[in-house]
Structure 1
Amino acid sequence: MYVIAYDVGTTGVKCCLFSLSMETGIEFIAGELVDYDLYVLENGGVEQDPQQWWRAMCDTTNQLLHKAGVAKEAIKGISFCAQMQAVVLVDQEGQPVRNAMSYMDNRGKKQMEQGLQRGFKIMGMNARKLLRSIMISGAVSASVKDPLWKYKWVQDEEPEIFSKVHKWLDVKDYLVCRATGNFIMSRDSAFATLLYDTRKGKEGFSRELCSMMDVNMEHLPQICECRDQVGTITGQAAAELGLAEGTPVFSGGGDASLIGVGAGAVETGATHIYMGTSGWVSTVVEKQRLDIGSMIASIVGADPNRFNCFAELETAGKCLEWARDHIGLDELGLFKEKKFAYEDLESKHKNLYGYIMDKISQIPAGSNGVLFTPWLHGNRCPFEDPDARGLFFNLGIETTASDMIHAVIEGVCLHLKWQLRAMEKQTKTSQTIRFAGGGALAPLTCQILADVLGRRIETVKNPQNAGAVGSAALMALGLKVIESIDEIKTLISVDHVYEPQPANTAVYENLFQIFRSLYKTNRKNFGMLNRRSL
């Protein structure tokens, strides 16, 4: 049977067509991608237009069905994997009352100070609120980028707009609403508000936490599981999408919940690393664990019986994109020829990234002494600091652009190592790690990651589509193709394996000590240079 999974990322929607069966497993058939805007504002705001998400969803669906030659009646279900911790505020008709506030938005510093940092404190937070939040939800809104402070910012700064709010949704929950007309939020999205009660027998939004944080519970939608069918496509949505009216719609989940599923890391103790625009380290655990000092929490995922111990990196692949645009290209227009070298007929490379990877492949471990820190938009874990920024450290007159770009990849991997080390204070991580996201497409990046971590790295087919594969896997569960989430691992096979090279691992272990010191040494300077009042 055919299903469609929408991978709703930071910069675009990818519509993916899959075939599901016990014999062939989850087979990727085709995909279509449409980009949309990301608005970075001077006051720390980062926004997107939800209408652009919907238009991109409609455009990709129509394009996909046309190119694949699949009849709309053959699609037995649609679902989603999406960026998380955005705040999408809608009215009673499901229309956005303002632009969505991205997971990167950090405008809510004043709201966080007023809501969590006054009164008797523990670790800089109001003691009562901290302890009650941990007891009820197993986490606390300790980051200025958490959804609660975005919601409160609108409440304080845009009261006329706030008065029109009917429901508070996340990204894919808004798209579910557009497709079905239903206001529903999956359990992982509900947990991401950090207003969710994770205690056994009490799962659901916490009236106590909402009261404590002055959140209107009427704004919070009904909760479902990621695997649940939450409605069918309405006539109007069907006409826009090019799908059949009445097609089942499954909730799906956030990227943090489903990418590990799509990578086959579903059993207790399985660790996976994601490197897309953002990045993370995640391990499946049986019980909630919380390390406030390192900003590591156990989040609700696709499996209602387990949690994902989770450490987030704000900018991962985005750093390489930045290096591509500002180091690798002729940004100043100094050369007359505007044709990329990889576009030559004799070139073996299909894209610019492949060309860049080939050019830096001979740079030795350690990038000839250059270090890079990947905090281009602040950082969350293992330290929370929205003012932290990227550094190139130890540049010399002999340093080349190739050294610098190579150092960018190493810097992202070194930070992931820092997160992995912090996570191991809470739980055991697996010696073999599944690697997913666009970063896993590059053998050089995979090998550097293996060398930096000193761990075996495994990738799967189409790692850049792991979230969509996870969404399709949950539809297989919802459509009764499989019976349990543990069966998903048997449907997803390993494609490539990368073993660590001991000599390189030794180099990176020495560099790791210097890398960690760079934030402590420059923390005050980051604050002085990037404080919002400047």
Structure 2
Amino acid sequence: MADYVIAYDVGTTGIKTCVFEISNAIKLIASAMEGYKLYVMDNGGAEQEPNDWWDAMCRTTNRVLVESGIPAERILGISFCSQMQGLVLVDKNGEPVRRAMSYLDQRAQKELKEGIAHGLRIAGVNLFKLLKSLSITRAVAASIKDPVWKYKWVESNEPEVYEKIYKWLDVKEYLICKCTGAFIMTQDSAFATLLYDTRKGMNCISKELCRMYGVNAEHLPEIVRSTDMVGRITKEAAVKLHLQEGTPVFGGGGDASLIGVGAGAVEPGSTHIYSGTSGWVSTVANKQVVDASSMIAAIVGVNPGAFNYFAELETAGKCLEWVKDHLALDEIDIYLEKKHISESTENLFTSLYDYMMHAVQHVPAGSNGVIFTPWLHGNRCPFEDANARGMFFNISLETGKTEMIHAVLEGICYHLRWQLEVQEKKVKTSKIIRFVGGGALAPLTCQILSDILGREIETVDSPQNAGAVGAALMAAVGLGMIDQVNDAKQWIKANARYLPDMANKSKHDRNYQVFKSLYRANKKSFRLLNDRKASSVSLSN
């Protein structure tokens, strides 16, 4: 009889619940998706209702069991892959004391400045605190979006809420708590707090860093490994999930940890690129490396002794969603001719995305000189600026929607190239790069990425499910079905390859140089337009 596990891929805009068969391969049997709201506020806030995640998890679990026909008793375990660096503050009963603060939240400017961006500085960070943090965790909380500043924002602005805090959890840790009643945090989530002591023999939350930042160390939960069985589904949770009471629950990991595993990029020197709502370039390293000036650090992953040298782009696929809503579709309801691309509402987005790729496939490399910057919600790496924004540059009378949509694809890939080049200052990246996420579903995007990077690109089966595959692997290792995380390279094979067109690359090389100059040339303008405190500052300043 086949063995089955359920993996939950908890994203920014929705959860995908997947049933996998574990035999001589990891086979997707059934999946269900349900969305939830992201509340984006004028003051830079970005929040979600934790119970929306839980309700969507329960409903989609029931749907995949019904669709697959697999009895609940045949599910041997569950695991998670989720968005990271959220702040979920709960009371002793595991109930949220406020809405969760998303990794996209940008409110903590004051807390960041007071906490680390004052005094004698290097790369905008207080020298003493920089050195102290680097010595303990080999990274530094220098971004406005780092969870510690969200925590401090709550302390400063919502003291009555702060008094109710029992534990500080991340997204999947909240769902694990709902399933089991356990308050835990996997090692990769703990590292993402940037309070985690990675020194040999430590592997714990640093009380020294907590004192330095003014964090109550008692708010941090027990730390576990991603392959650990962290508890079993309680009777109450089993009723809501339609699973059996006592089903093992495994720690799983964050998306930055598990998508690389699901891509099969697990050996030191292996590089993968992800394009989903966000995007990144990640290379496996056998030691911790940090580049504070470029906002890159080797983060703790799910594989013991290995680290992911990680460069993040806040909005990748989110830019294509913006294009769909505001450029491809006509939001003011003016049409020369209406065409129904799909009669199925459920498949509308996928069909429109595919249609956009079809419509722009013959636009030449370089989009006839049009360049797009994918900083629709600020940027983190290789420069940190919450005020940075997207733009179309070099539009002419001859420019049409097809060039602009094509330029969005290229702009995302130009930024990924920038991150790859910055990574190579510290580590050696792989010649062949695994590309996963929803962006890897489109052959056009894969070829553009290959042309811009000048590298061979490989994709895998169902690249949009790489995170769920990684979570399934965590459960399989925990259950003893698979020996170790490194075996992922044997289970995850490439299904397509793309070689660079060097003639196209020469065109991209020209545009890429302009692309990199656009932030520097517009930095003051971004600040004037988007920083409330700078609204009275003239450009000449």
TM-score, structure 1 length as denominator? 0.98
Matches within 5 A, 1:480-519: 480-519=480-519
Equivalent in the alignment of 1:168: 168
Indicate the residue corresponding to 2:22 in structure 1.
20
What one-letter code is carried by the residue in structure 1 that aligns with 2:299?
A: I
Q: Which residue of 1 aligns with 2:539?
A: none
Gaps of 5+ in 2: 536-541
Deviations 1:128-159 (A, max 9, x none): 11100000000000101100100000000000
Q: For 1:150-169, what aligned pairs fall within 5 Å after superposition?
A: 150-169=150-169
1 CA distance for matches of 2:532 and 2:180? 41
Looking at structure 1, the residues matched to 398 and 68 of structure 2 have their Cα atoms a distance apart, in angstroms, of: 51
CA shift digits 1:182-208 (9 cap, x unpaired) = 000000000000000000011100010
Instruction: Count residues in correspondence.
Output: 530
Cα offset for 1:126?
A: 1.5
Report if aligned partners of 1:342, 1:350 keep a CA contact under 8 Å in 2: no
Q: Percent identity?
A: 60
Runs of 4+ in 1 over 2 A off after TM superposition: 118-124, 335-344
Q: Is the 8 A contact 1:101 1:150 kept in 2?
A: yes
- Mapped partners of 1:20, 1:84: distance in 2: 26
1:375 maps to what in 2? 375
How many Å apart are 1:122 and its aligned residue? 2.5
Question: Is it true that 1:430 corresponds to 2:430 in the alignment?
Answer: yes
Partner SS state of residue 528, structure 1: helix
The 3-state SS of whatever aligns with 1:293 is helix
Post-superposition CA distance 1:491-525 (Å, at most 9, x none)? 11111111111111111111111110000000000
The 5 A counterparts of 1:128-527 are 128-335=128-335, 339-343=339-343, 351-527=351-527
Q: Do the aligned residues in 1 keep the contact of 2:78 with 2:249 (CA within 8 Å)? A: yes
Counterpart AA for 1:120:
L
Q: Return the offset for 1:400.
A: 0.5
CA distance in 2, matches of 1:390, 1:183: 39
For 1:186, the aligned partner's letter is: T
Helix, strand or coil for the counterpart of 1:341?
coil
The structural deviation recorded for 1:473 is 1.0
Given that 1:319 and 1:408 are in contact with CA atoms closer than 8 Å, whether structure 2 keeps it comes out as yes
Task: Summarize the alignment of residues 103-142 of structure 1 with structure 2, pairs less than 5 Å apart.
Answer: 103-142=103-142
- Using the alignment, how far apart are the partners of 2:80 and 2:4 within structure 1? 15
Give 1:436's aligned amino acid: V
1:45 aligns with 2:45: yes
Deviations 1:305-357 (A, max 9, x none): 1100000000000001101111100111013865523559xxxx971111111
What secondary structure does 2:133 align onto?
helix
Checking the alignment, whether the CA contact within 8 Å between 1:275 and 1:438 is kept in structure 2 is: yes
Instruction: Check conservation: 1:88, 1:168, Cα contact below 8 A.
Output: yes
**Aligned partners of 2:28, 2:424: CA distance in 1, in Å?**
34
Q: 1:228: how far off?
A: 0.7
Cα deviation 1:410-454 (Å, max 9, x = unaligned): 000000000000000010000000001000000000000000000
| Structure 1 residue 121 displacement after superposition | 2.3
Aligned-residue offset at 1:466: 0.2
Q: Which residue matches 2:58?
A: 58
Distance in 2 between residues matched to 1:403 and 1:196, nearest whole Å:
46
State the partner residue of 2:538.
Answer: none
RMSD: 1.4
CA contact (8 A) 2:303 2:486 kept: no
Counterpart in the other structure of 2:92: 92
Equivalent residue letter for 1:57: M
How big is the shift at 1:488? 1.4
Q: Is residue 3 of structure 1 aligned with residue 21 of structure 2?
A: no
In structure 2, how many angstroms separate the alpha carbons of the residues matched to 1:123 and 1:360?
A: 40
Q: Distance in 2 between matches of 1:245 and 1:337?
A: 55
The question of whether the paired residues in 2 share the 8 Å contact of 1:43 and 1:532 is answered with no
CA gap of 1:350–1:212, structure 2 versus 1, over 3 A, is closer
